[in-house]
Amino acid sequence: MTVTVEQLENTLKSGFPDSNIIVEDVSGGCGAKFSIVIGSDKFEGVSLLERHRMANDVIGELMKDIHAINFKTWTKKQYEEKMKQ
């Protein structure tokens, strides 16, 4: 099964409501590699490793059909600062 940007966005939005989410297919459209940015208040005070675990837990079943994901898991404040650059 091919995973789409829309599937990932919808799944992440359900797990991280009121968050900034950017999903990009970086595999040329085949759904094998994605770049994902999440800006969420749920990440306040959470280590980088735990943030990635949280994101992986949300997309769970979809991971079976994805080869690689590059996560950027930021707090909302970090997201706003980094997106200005």
Write down the residue that tokens 């966005």 correspond to: 9
74: amino acid identity, one letter = W
Residues 6+ apart with CB under 8 A from 83: 20, 39
User: Which is the CATH superfamily of the domain at 5-84?
Assistant: BolA-like (3.30.300.90)
DSSP H helices in the chain: 5-15, 48-59, 76-84
Tens digits of residue pLDDT in 28-78: 878 889 999 999 999 999 999 999 999 999 999 999 999 999 999 999 999
**pLDDT value, residue 29:** 79
So where are the chain's domains?
Answer: 5-84
Across residues 13-37, what is the average pLDDT?
A: 94
Q: Measured on CA atoms in the order 10, 80, 41, 70, is the torsion positive or negative?
A: positive
